[in-house]
Amino acid sequence: VAFYMLPEKAVYANAAVQKLAYDNALAKFGVTAALACQAFKTWDKDENSKNPNIDAAELQSVFRAGGYEENVAKQIADTILDQAQKPDEPGKIYCEQLVDLMGDGLVSMNHLREYAEKKCSTKMTQSKVVPVLHGSSSES
């Protein structure tokens, strides 16, 4: 149904035929998460907050600084908040929500954590660290 009837059918069709390289998707998500965190830090003007968040005014100022008219900046900020805010905390988003919003939905922070834990435990069981002694008589 999604491939033929929905207005965004082209997006679904592309996703169905695109080859997935899971390691690459996780790495790209990691970079996207880093960019989201950096953007969040830049956009959040309350540096002393114990629970950093971005509110509607801060989002609007990002778009106003980018040259958007006030009404357009408000529309964009409202759309972001509608999609990313926690239902029990309307009007603001946290870094985690920005990371999720900027991701493509294919992988998540949980996937990245699980992958990293698996890779670390695999490496730890398959290899060992051996010190190299320089200048010893055993070197040839």
pLDDT tens by residue, 84-139 = 989 999 999 999 999 999 988 788 888 888 888 888 775 544 344 444 444 544 44
Tell me how far apart the alpha carbons of residues 140 and 132 are, in angstroms, rounded to a whole number.
13
Tokens linked to 67: 């040259």
Task: Considering only residues 131 and 52, tell me which one the structure prediction assigns the higher pLDDT.
Answer: 52
For strands 92-93 and 54-55, give the pairing: antiparallel
Residues 6+ apart with CB under 8 A from 98: 36, 37, 39, 40, 54, 84
